[in-house]
Amino acid sequence: MFKWLLVVIIIAAAVVGNAYYDDQPLLYRVIGVVVAGILAALVASFTTRGKAFLGLLQDARAEVRRVVWPTKQETLQTTGIVVLVVAIMALILWGLDWALGAIISSIIG
């Protein structure tokens, strides 16, 4: 519990420090917040849940390595199909909108 309290204090200090030093250059404030975030993550990684989260990240990385990524040709073909279907649906919806607008205009007068 103490470690999580320390993580919250570090993050709160980063937020308050960023607001307090708003007259300083943005680069320095970003570096300070990033360093505080890394420090908070380091402290959190020593907790039980932090270790479990790191294990999850390692498992996710292993799964990403096992993925069979599509080739460039497959990606281009799939993208072309998606663009074509979107264009066809846009034309269908435009025609439906035009037809319904014409019907409503004739009813209203």
In the chain, where the domains are located: 2-66, 70-109
Confidence band of 45 (pLDDT split at 50, 70, 90):
confident
Whether residue 97 has pLDDT greater than 90: yes
What does the pLDDT read at residue 74? 96
Is this structure's pTM higher than 0.85? no
**Do residues 10 and 40 make contact, with C-beta atoms less than 8 angstroms apart?**
yes
Output the CA–CA distances (angstroms, integers) from residue 5 to 8, 18, 19, 20, 99, in the order listed. Answer: 5, 20, 21, 22, 62
Give mean pLDDT, residues 59-87. Answer: 95
- The residue among 32, 64, 58, 33 whose CA lies nearest residue 45 is 58
Q: Which residues are within 8 A (CB) of 14 and not within 5 positions of it... i.e. 6 or more apart?
A: 32, 33, 36, 37, 40
